[in-house]
Structure 1
């Protein structure tokens, strides 16, 4: 039987660390990666542009490390964007614009929870309580108070597995569409003999005398 519970009763919601502790972060640096809102893509943590810069993690940030099965949610800006932490991200930190959600696994399956919290209507519920100003913001308490529909664990895992299969099929179709999109213009070029007219327009040659006259401007007309 499905029950409704507060997210805070199903997980530990860790508020974000202070932004002051992330001064000097940037791409291409060394040190521990910091998960930022832009890294949360399709329910997973992407690795395209991770911020780094902390060669040594201070003790004040140790409690903000993530473990596999944790969820990282954006709390500032793109509120509600969420991702599940995988093994490859173990020990990373999360940015001050995010919160960490650590599910109590005896009550809720992480794969089910990340899918549930990403549902548009659930995100709308969160946004309905957000502080709207220059930047939309929610607090850890607002995240904790979010109601969650919780079926039995076995049903949660079945649903999470079905959603994973749908995601895999969607990814397959996305890749096929990307290949077809690249093939379409290439096919036209091939059928036209390897070059589209106007693709490489030659710059017309200009005689030196013509170029000098153009630079000087038109000659004044002689009055009769």
Structure 2
């Protein structure tokens, strides 16, 4: 697609019309994981509900073996329920490799995310698979890196991620078709 073009040069048959210019924060809820006194290393248990941090998706997908991830008890899970992941959420690293994100797959549904993670939950009008692929493009990743703050260790927050500009098909069916194509 051309820079900021409203209609792509190449499209799947049957789709027409201009694409929308949106900021990520307009089409999704972005939330930071729990901070400080909400969770301590002493809260971790041998078997419970996994709580992912940036190390668990540094290659673009979430670790599937829950026993390689710190876990918390069901009691702590209930206390931290506001930080639960749902299938289709997208997680971002807040610090370091701030352009790395992963799509939450069904096997990670209900897991928690840590304070070093930002969770993106798209509104019903937008397909999370398409959105994940769009957030993986070089242009978007470079934009996020360029807007990160911090000299030594880049970091982003909800405001920085919310301001990420995207060009999106207005049709959810077209979004799904594109997302499925790139999913392979």
Partner residue, 1:116: 134
Partner residue, 2:54: 37
Give the deviation of 1:27 after TM superposition.
8.5
Q: 1:53 to 1:59 in 2, by over 3 A?
A: closer
- Conserved 8 A contact 1:43-1:114: no
Equivalent residues in 2 for 1:2-13, closer than 5 Å: 2-13=19-30
- Conserved 8 A contact 1:31-1:56: no
Runs ≥4 residues deviating over 3 A? 25-28
Give the deviation of 1:67 after TM superposition.
0.8
Larger Rg: 1
Unaligned runs of 5+ in 1: 166-224
Partner residue, 1:159: 178
- Distance in 1 between the 2:79 and 2:152 partners? 29
- Conserved 8 A contact 1:36-1:95: yes
1:23 paired residue among 18, 25, 40: 40
Once the two structures are superposed, residues 59-89 of structure 1 have per-residue CA deviations (whole angstroms, 9 ceiling, x without a partner) of 6522111111111111111112111112221
- Conserved 8 A contact 2:89-2:122: yes
Please say if 1:84 is aligned against 2:115: no
Once the two structures are superposed, residues 14-69 of structure 1 have per-residue CA deviations (whole angstroms, 9 ceiling, x without a partner) of 12210443321699822210111122155431134212244522665221111111
Q: How many residues align?
A: 164
Give the alignment's Cα RMSD to 1 decimal.
Answer: 2.1
- Conserved 8 A contact 1:5-1:150: yes
Once the two structures are superposed, residues 125-144 of structure 1 have per-residue CA deviations (whole angstroms, 9 ceiling, x without a partner) of 01111112332111111111
- Distance in 2 between the 1:32 and 1:56 partners? 10
- Conserved 8 A contact 2:64-2:107: no
Q: TM-score, normalised by structure 2?
A: 0.80
Q: Normalized per residue, which structure has more helix?
A: 1
- Distance in 2 between the 1:123 and 1:117 partners? 7
Q: 1:58 to 1:84 in 2, by over 3 A?
A: closer
